[in-house]
């Protein structure tokens, strides 16, 4: 039995995510140190701050948005879904995540990443530690001006 899960990502979307992630390697240290006076806003599971949001010229009607999500120790988000595809990178700490399309819950450590395909539900999204904070970079590729996250009832 093959234990691998393969997600096929269109080449243009993968390229856009790669470029955004590379550019954000400069922006994330500034956010982590608190150098962004624009701050962020509270969400159900933690604090979020938009790092960048840009239209994708080679994918008409699509927008790339990068958000830094900070989870206090023990904090979690309720089940939710996103308007587009999401590439997630754990910046610090550890994040427990479960997605309807990618299998059971798994703990991701700083430096690890995961993908949430369009149309899937994010069932578990939480700081895996009760004592240490965690941060996650979420890079969305979605329709321009779409509501990126919708909480499920």
Give the domain ranges of the chain: 11-151
Specify which residues 138 forms β-bridges with: 67, 88
Query: Is the whole-model pTM more than 0.75?
Result: no
Please give the pLDDT value at position 49.
Answer: 86
In whole angstroms, give the CA distance from residue 55 to residue 59.
8
Out of 3-7, 118-122, 124-128, least confident range: 3-7
27 has pLDDT over 90: no
Average pLDDT value for residue range 113-136: 94
Average pLDDT value for residue range 103-130: 95
Closest CA to 85 of 4, 5, 17, 153: 17
Out of 19-33, 64-78, 138-152, least confident range: 19-33
Instruction: Give the pairing type, strands 80-82 and 134-143.
Output: unpaired
Record: fold of 11-151: Jelly Rolls (2.60.120)
């Amino acid at each position: 039995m093959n234990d691998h899960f393969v997600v096929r990502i269109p080449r243009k979307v993968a390229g856009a995510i790669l470029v955004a992630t590379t550019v954000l390697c400069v922006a994330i240290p500034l956010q982590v140190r608190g150098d962004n006076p624009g701050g962020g806003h509270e969400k159900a599971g933690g604090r979020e701050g938009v790092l960048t949001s840009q239209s994708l010229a080679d994918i008409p009607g699509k927008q790339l948005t990068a958000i830094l999500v900070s989870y206090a120790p023990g904090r979690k988000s309720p089940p939710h879904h996103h308007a587009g595809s999401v590439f997630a990178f754990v910046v610090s700490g550890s994040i427990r995540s479960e997605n309807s399309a990618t299998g059971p819950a798994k703990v991701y450590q700083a430096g690890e990443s995961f993908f949430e395909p369009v149309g899937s539900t994010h069932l578990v999204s939480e700081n895996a530690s009760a004592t240490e904070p965690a941060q996650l970079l979420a890079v969305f590729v979605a329709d321009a001006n779409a509501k990126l996250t919708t909480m499920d009832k």
